[in-house]
Amino acid sequence: MTRMMWMAHLYGYMLEREMERRKRKSIPEELAYVETLRA
């Protein structure tokens, strides 16, 4: 596999994981997380 293909595959995998995590998380949790980042 070429480097470009590998990078694209890795990016796609990470994006998929992020989407799954966001679907599971509730909105209040998201807001609380953002607040902790800002503090």
Q: SS in 3 state form for 3-23?
A: HHHHHHHHHHHHHHHHHHHHH
What is the identity of the amino acid at 24?
Answer: R
1-39 pLDDT, tens digit per residue, is 699 999 999 999 999 998 888 777 677 877 888 888 887
Tell me how far apart the alpha carbons of residues 32 and 19 are, in angstroms, rounded to a whole number.
Answer: 18
Residue 23, pLDDT score: 77
16 lies in which domain range? Answer: 3-38
- Position 1 scores a pLDDT of 65
State how far the Cα of 2 lies from the Cα of 39, in Å rounded to an integer. 42
Per-residue confidence (pLDDT) for residue 19, from 0 to 100: 85
- The pLDDT value given to residue 11: 92
Contacts 24+ apart (CB under 8 A), 26-30: none
At residue 33, the pLDDT reads 83
Q: How many domains does the chain have?
A: 1
Q: What local confidence, expressed as pLDDT, does residue 9 receive?
A: 92
**Phi and psi torsions of 34, nearest 5°:** -65, -40
